Structures are given as structure tokens and as C-alpha cells.
């Protein structure tokens, strides 16, 4: 597990921590099915992964697909966002997370 967060991870964590996003409880760098996921909302079996440019490499795309399938097999929903999505449009990212869980902002 890493102690230092990337800029994108820190920005999203500031939105998720301490039940700030619609009262939802998220954990950071949670071990699930032999993997360490970036963020997880255990009550809703939701994982949020943040991908930087290395994830665009063919070898990493394949690894991410295998990892995602394994987590989904265990009943988790996996959302992936690019660093740029979080850094440039955090509100839309948070809305997508909420809608995936099934809560509406309105």
C-alpha cells in the first residue's frame, strides 16, 4: 500500500472521506480479492479506481480487465476514471458515483 496519494487521488479522497459524498462511507486502499483498490464503498459493493497514463499501455489494459472481472465476480461494481477526469471535472465524477449507487442528487 502507498502512503502518498497522487493529485487525482487526493482530490477525489477529499470529496469521499468522512461521509462527505451523500453520507456514503468510503475506504482508501482497501484490500479486496487479493488486490488493493483505490477506493471502496463496502456497503454498496462499489470500487472506484483512478487510472493514470500507464494504464493506457496494452499490458496494463489487459491486467486491469482481468482485475476488474475478478472483482466483479466477487460482486463488486468497478468504476474507472482517468486522472484528468478527476482533476478537471470532479463534480461529474461524483455525480457518476452517486448515480451508480442509485442515489439521485435532486
pLDDT at 63: 84
How high is the pLDDT of residue 62? 80
DSSP characters over 76-96: -EEEEEEHHHHHH-HHHHHHH
pLDDT of residue 98: 95
The pLDDT score that the predictor gives to residue 52 is: 80
Q: With 70 as the cut, is the pLDDT of residue 104 above it? A: no
What's the whole-model pTM score? 0.87
H/E stretch holding 69 reads helix 58-73
Angle between helix 90-101 and 7-16 (nearest 10): 50
Q: How much is the pLDDT for 105?
A: 46
Question: Closest Cα partner for 48 from 103, 93, 99?
Answer: 93
Q: Would you mind telling me the total number of residues written for the chain in this entry?
A: 106
pLDDT at 3: 74
Cα(79)–Cα(8) distance, integer angstroms: 15
Amino acid 64: pLDDT: 86
Amino acid at each position: 500500500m502507498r502512503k502518498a496519494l497522487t493529485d487525482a487521488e487526493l482530490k477525489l479522497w477529499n470529496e469521499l472521506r468522512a461521509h462527505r459524498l451523500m453520507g456514503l462511507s468510503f475506504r482508501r486502499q482497501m484490500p479486496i480479492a487479493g488486490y488493493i483498490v483505490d477506493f471502496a464503498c463496502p456497503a454498496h459493493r462499489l470500487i472506484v479506481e483512478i487510472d493514470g497514463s500507464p494504464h493506457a499501455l496494452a499490458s496494463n489494459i489487459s491486467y486491469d480487465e482481468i482485475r476488474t472481472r475478478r472483482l466483479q465476480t466477487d460482486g463488486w461494481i468497478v468504476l474507472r476514471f482517468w486522472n484528468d477526469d478527476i482533476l478537471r471535472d470532479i463534480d461529474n465524477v461524483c455525480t457518476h458515483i452517486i448515480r451508480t449507487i442509485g442515489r439521485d442528487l435532486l
